[in-house]
Amino acid sequence: MGARGWHHTPEARARIGAAAKARKSSAIAIEARWARHRAAKALLPPKAARKRLTPEEKRANNIRRAKEWSERNPDRSKAIKRKSFEKNRERINAKQREQNKTPERKAFIRIYAPKHRAANPDKYATYSENRRARGLGAIGSHTEAEWIAKVSYCGNACVCCQRKCKLSRDHDIPLARGGSNYISNIVPACSSCNSAKGTLTGDEFRNRLNGGVTMDPRWASQLANARKSRQCSPSA
């Protein structure tokens, strides 16, 4: 290496020079930020002339800023809200139940709920189905969007009789026989087929419709194609 030392080699001088430039650039960036801060602060009125906010005004200001942030970051906001709800589910539900017992809330629900239910039938049907499944101890749940996608995938028709009419959720493997409430175990069916099916599985009911003989090739082909996709698979 010689008497001059390692720091006099070309490679070392290059590294030292790069580090010095980085420090200088960082210092310039910090100074620029402080300059912007001082310029913004100079535009503010003196402290004596500033209006002191009341607690209510501060709260309203914080709510406004939080709402603006949520609008700019919808995905992060949704994830944070969901995590908070999961962490405090019992406390939030208990508080909601208490609020729903007040006369004002009961009057509001009597007026608003029927209108909202009529405007969002699929949403309420999904909520009712998930709640019923939880009561029966079934695993899984599904969303309104998943149900709409499943109906569209299955041709907007009953999977048993192929009629295009008002459809309801039917569990291919019934909840009473250990079926799940995942969308993969749910198919669209008309009310007649859904009621007649009872606690039969989808295959058992379709065989009964055909008098115990081999399923109609049209339905068999459609069912086979549907089950190739996880979206229409009868098992969770």
Q: Is the pTM of this model over 0.75?
A: no
138 pLDDT tier (thresholds 50, 70, 90):
confident
Q: Could you give the C-alpha distances from 193 to 130, 157, 205, 212, 214, in angstroms and in order?
A: 21, 12, 9, 16, 19
Q: Which domains does the chain have, with CATH numbers?
A: 121-232 (1.10.30.50)
Residue range 35-60: mean pLDDT, rounded? 78
Whole-angstrom CA distances from 132 to 16, 141, 181, 201, 234 are: 70, 10, 10, 19, 19
Give the Cβ contact number of residue 151 at 10 Å: 17
Tens digits of per-residue pLDDT, 145-177?
888 898 888 888 888 888 888 888 888 888 888
Single-letter amino acid code for the residue at 9: T
pLDDT digits (tens, 9 = 90+) for 77-120: 989 998 998 899 899 989 988 988 888 888 888 888 888 888 88
pLDDT of the residue at 230 = 37
Range of lowest pLDDT (1-5, 138-142, 150-154, 208-212): 1-5
Amino acid identity at 31: E
